[in-house]
Structures are given as C-alpha cells and as structure tokens.
Amino acid sequence: MLRARMGDAYTPGLTVTGNAVVRKLRRLPLPGEVLAKVGQKVTASDVVARTELPGRVHLLNFSNLLGVLPDEIAGKLRVEPGAAIREGDILAESKSLFGLLTSRVKAPITGTFESVSEVTGQAVMREPPTPVEVTAYMDGQVVEEIPTEGAIIETRGALIQGIFGLSGEVYAPIVMVSDDPGQVLSPGDLDEATCRGKVVVGGSLATVEVMRRAIDIGVAAVVVGGFAYQDIRELLGYDVGVAVTGTENLGTTLVVTEGFGQIAMAGATFALLREHEGEHASVNGATQIRAGVIRPEVVIPNPPGREAAARADQPGAGGLEIGAKVRCIRAPHFGRIGEVTQLPTDLMEMPSETRVRVLEVTFGQRDAAIIPRANVEVIER
C-alpha cells in the first residue's frame, strides 16, 4: 500500500517537547541583501533577507520585423540598450520605398530593453524583477549571519513534529476546538469568529470537509492526529509526491501528528498544545522524506521573560531503551504509539524469512506486539 511506502521512508527521532532549542536557517533562493544582524531580536514577521528574482525574458527578431540586416539595426533604434520600457513603446523604426512605408517594433512588455544582436538581429527584453523577502518565521534571536544568503534564527520553546503535512509557513495563535484527543472534527466545530486566522488543534481526524471549511473561513492551520490519505487528492485535485510537500497553495496549513486514518492525537502532544492555547505558534506543513528528512512542525517560542522548565519526561540522550515512547512507522501497526517493554538481544526470524533485531511494544495493558526495530521511531518528549 502507498501508506506503507510513505511510512517506510521515515527515520527515528520524532520530537514532541515543551523545552527545545530550535534553530532555523532562513536562506534566499538567490544571493541578495541580509538585513538581520547577529544578536538581533526578531519576530516571526520580520524580514531578515531580501533579493530579486530576474524577470522573464522576451525575444524579438528586429531584423525580420524591420526588414533590415542585423548590422543595420543600431541606426533604427528609438531606445538605448538598458533603458526602461513600457508596453506599446516604439523600440525601433525603419522606413522604405523612399520613406513611404514605415515599419515599427513596439514593446510587448513593460520592463527593460537589454540588448540587440548585430549578428542575429535578435533583441532581448526582460520583465521587471520579482522581489523576494525571507522572514524570520519564528520569534527568536539571530545567532548567525550568512553574507548574501540569509541568517540562522534561534528560539527556545515547545516543538511538536508531525508525520505529514501540507502547505507552508504560518504564524498565528493556538485555539483548541476539541476536548478529547480522540475526537473526530466536523465542519461545525470550526466557528469563523473563533477560528479565523488561528492555529486550530483538533483530535483524531480531520476530514476533507473540515479542511474545506477551514479554508473557506480563513483558518491559518489545522493540527490533528490523522488524515485519510485518499482525501489528499480530493482536497488538492491532484496526487502529491511521496517525497516533498509544502508548496501547495491551500490557504490553510495542515499538520498531521500521528498518521493516515483516524488516529487519536498522542495524549502528551494534545496536553502540550492545550498548555499553550492562546500563544502564537509558527507552523509549517512542509514534509520531505527523501534526501534528508524535513518534518511538519509546530514551534511555540517562549514569550519574553518566561523560560521553559525542563520536562520531567524529556529524555537525555534519547534512543531505544526500556520505557521509551515509540511510534510504529510501518504496517500493520502504522501510526500506533506505545512503550518499549523488552529489547531482546537475539535476532528473530520474520515472516519474510529475514532475521532482524526486534523489540516488544506495549500499546495498552494487554496489547503488545513484537516489532522490528527498524519499524519504529523514538518520540522525544
């Protein structure tokens, strides 16, 4: 199944913690101007770097349009190379038949007249550049400046990583719309007055109808335990690749914390989000599971003057150990969260006849399973 293939690509290390140091590289797509300075305090909306993307190029063959040789074009130009032009401006003019006939070339765009070749007769025009600004994304401090490229922003606060997401970065207050991490959201749970412009936290499932309602009323983001994989195509109108998401133009970002299907949000995750209700969060649905893992996330920086206390259940070095919280990332237990109760040292033969290292995971008082270690990821809390 496709669901299993997507799960196969994830690696151990999903983080859910109330006390994390988060660093984000904010980089321009092209060299430009870096505005942020080391030590500077920034808010999520502050612009830390800017550049301009070159405009689209347009070509016209002046030689053909004017009926002259390429090396004769220079004497026919009405504008100099490098000059600004507006759509409809006369760029060149040629007269023939003793001045009775006039051929003119008009600008097809507004932009810049860059050059014309005396060999081919081809003229180059370029549309205006597109300004690009990179914001800090989260409240924090600039800890490193990368000349002409960007900056690294650092903050301390809560970090919740999800397993799948859609659409890009938003920054908005958190509002809880579920009282139970196992609650299935319905469109009626989203009240426009309460949810517009907010990061809405639900329970075990958001349907495609819920997402459409969220988009219609202007919800900034939906954070929920599960989402049906088949609903992604219905929501977007096309299939997403299994490798990268985050560029979808939804209008509302989606972060799925547990997996595909109806899966109750982990109790600790739900409690952590409830603890920060009303506070601003930086949310990103971008997911990459090839060539380096990027997880969808919710980052909740500490408000000024408040330092997060280390959580009692936060592990030191992390890793697989007795008592560690883990999430199953492959079928048949995909998305389930449990606790490691045994770590056998001997290899065990699987139905595929391969011999692998395994562990025992307990999902409840009487619900346990022997699972290959490669089929789980540690939940750092």
Of 10, 17, 14, 3, nearest in space to 310 by CA: 17
pLDDT per residue, tens digit, the chain (381 aa), is: 333 333 333 334 578 889 899 999 999 999 999 999 999 999 999 999 999 999 999 999 999 999 999 999 999 999 999 999 999 999 999 987 766 788 999 999 999 999 999 999 999 999 999 999 999 999 999 999 999 999 999 999 999 999 899 999 999 999 999 999 999 999 999 999 999 999 999 999 999 999 999 999 999 999 999 999 889 989 998 887 656 888 898 999 999 998 888 989 988 899 999 999 999 999 999 988 765 678 899 999 998 666 544 443 344 445 678 888 887 777 777 667 788 998 888 888 877 777 888 889 998 777 888 988 877 877 765
Of 166, 188, 169, nearest in space to 177 by CA: 188
What's residue 305's pLDDT?
62
What angle (nearest 5°) sits at the alpha carbon of residue 232, between those of residues 226 and 237? 160
What's residue 11's pLDDT?
36
The DSSP line for 283-338 is EE--EE-SSS-B--EEEEEPPTT-PPPPPTT--SS-SS-TT-EEEE-STTSTT-EE
CA distance linking residue 342 with residue 360, whole number of Å = 5
What's the first-to-final CA gap in the chain, in angstroms? 30
At position 302, the amino acid (one-letter code) is N
Tokens 């032009």 locate to: 85
Secondary structure letter of residue 107 according to DSSP: -
